[in-house]
Amino acid sequence: MAEFTMELNDEQKEVRDWIHGFAADVMRPAAAEWDEREETPWPVIQEAAKIGLYSLDFYAQQFFDPTGLGIPMTMEELFWGDAGIALSIVGTGLAAVGVLANGTEEQIGTWVPQMYGDAHDVKVAAFCSSEPDAGSDVASMRTRAVYDEAKDEWVLNGTKTWATNGGIANVHVVVAVVDPELGSKGHASFIVPPNTPGLSQGQKFKKHGIRASHTAEVVLENVRVPGHCLLGGKDKLDERLARARERAKGGVGGWGRVKNAAMATFEASRPAVGAMAVGTARAAYEEALEYARTREQFGRPIIDNQGVAFQLADMRTQIDAARLLVWRASWMAVTGKKFESAEGSMSKLFASETAKKVTAQAIQILGGNGFTREYPVERMHRDAAIYTIFEGTSEIQRLVIARTLSGMPIR
- For residues 392, 393, 397, 402, the Cα torsion angle rounded to the nearest 10 degrees is -130
> How far is residue 257 from each of residues 102, 236, 243, 260, 262, measured CA to CA in Å?
16, 16, 10, 9, 14
Using the Cα atoms of residue 168, residue 171, residue 173 and residue 177 in order, give the sign of their dihedral: positive
User: Do the Cβ atoms of 213 and 84 come closer than 8 Å?
Assistant: yes
For the chain, state the CA radius of gyration: 22
Distance CA 202, CA 183 (A): 26
- Per DSSP bridges, beta strands 171-177 and 215-226 are unpaired
In 214-305, which residue ranges form alpha helices assigned H by DSSP? 234-250, 261-294
Taken as a whole, the chain contains a residue count of 411
How far CA 70 is from CA of 15, 27, 43, 45, 82, in Å, comes to 9, 20, 25, 20, 19
Rounded (10°) angle between helices 261-294 and 92-102: 150
User: Is 351 in contact with 326 (CB distance < 8 Å)?
Assistant: yes
Strand pairing partners for 230? 190
267, 343, 378, 391: the catalytic one is: 391
d(CA 120, CA 130): 32
What does the alpha-carbon distance between residue 82 and residue 276 come to, in Å, rounded to a whole number? Answer: 10
Give me the half-sphere count of Cα atoms (radius 13 Å) on the Cβ side of residue 324.
7
**Distance between CA atoms of residues 144 and 102, nearest Å:** 18
**What is the helix, strand, coil percentage profile of the chain, to 5?**
60, 15, 25
Alpha carbons within 13 A on the beta-carbon side of 174: 40
Helical (H) or strand (E) element with 321: helix 306-334
Instruction: For residue 391, indicate whether it is catalytic.
Output: yes
CA distances for 295 relative to 289, 307, 372, angstroms: 10, 14, 16
Active centre residues (catalytic): 391
